[in-house]
Chain A
Amino acid sequence: DTGVSQNPRHKITKRGQNVTFRCDPISEHNRLYWYRQTLGQGPEFLTYFQNEAQLEKSRLLSDRFSAERPKGSFSTLEIQRTEQGDSAMYLCASSVRQGINEKLFFGSGTQLSVL
């Protein structure tokens, strides 16, 4: 169990640029979540995959955000035409569900700063 890995750890970009983050979940986990966290707030749900299928996407997520999970393994989160309001920590979590018992394992996150 190597844990959930996220890259890069930090990303600084200029407004209007596109950015892509990667998440490698724990290998046997079929569920993968993306959350966004700003200072002093709890993780805010963005989207969720079960295997390669994206089952839900937050209504808060604009069309500039897209996520993929090809072959049900790693996942990428892309933000197009970044805005200063996109600055946040982007957290990935993976899990495997057993009945109604599910425990999320979080990665260390990618801290995005949009200048």
Chain B
Amino acid sequence: QQPVQSPQAVILREGEDAVINCSSSKALYSVHWYRQKHGEAPVFLMILLKGGEQKGHDKISASFNEKKQQSSLYLTASQLSYSGTYFCGTEGDNFNKFYFGSGTKLNVKP
């Protein structure tokens, strides 16, 4: 039930864009995105609920296609502070637990 993320790693220059994908073999009720910096706890970025919505937070946005059981995170004009590992989290069908993908390591260079 663990979602699959791709790519595993991305190296960018400041100002470049990136897309991180998350897909599940199970029906999704919501998708969460978290960012974790080295040695720190994961920090919540956004949640997307059923309805195919898109959300944005500064220059980071995400989409959720429940029919395809996929979500994508878009990082636009990346900044050095975007570096870290991004995880998508999906809810199990009993709404009791979250499964996290294995993460996408993003490295933004000057």
Contact = CB atoms under 8 A, between A and B. Distances in A.
Given A42-B103, A43-B87, A100-B49, A91 B95 contact: no
B97 A45 contact: yes
Interface in A1-18: 4
24 contacts: A4-B41, A35-B100, A40-B102, A41-B103, A42-B5, A42-B87, A44-B100, A45-B99, A56-B96, A56-B97, A100-B30, A100-B50, A100-B91, A101-B30, A101-B49, A102-B30, A102-B47, A102-B91, A103-B44, A104-B32, A104-B42, A106-B42, A106-B43, A109-B41
Given A42-B87, A100-B49, A48 B97 contact: yes
B29 interface: yes
Interface in A56-115: 56, 91, 97, 100-109
Contacts of A35: 100
B98 interface: yes
Interface centre among A35, A100, A101 (most CB of B within 10 A): A100
User: Chain B, interface size: which category?
Assistant: 20 to 34
B97 A33 contact: yes
Given A42-B103, A103-B44, A103-B47, A33 B98 contact: yes
Interface of B: 2, 5, 29-30, 32, 34, 40-44, 47, 49-50, 87, 89, 91, 94-103
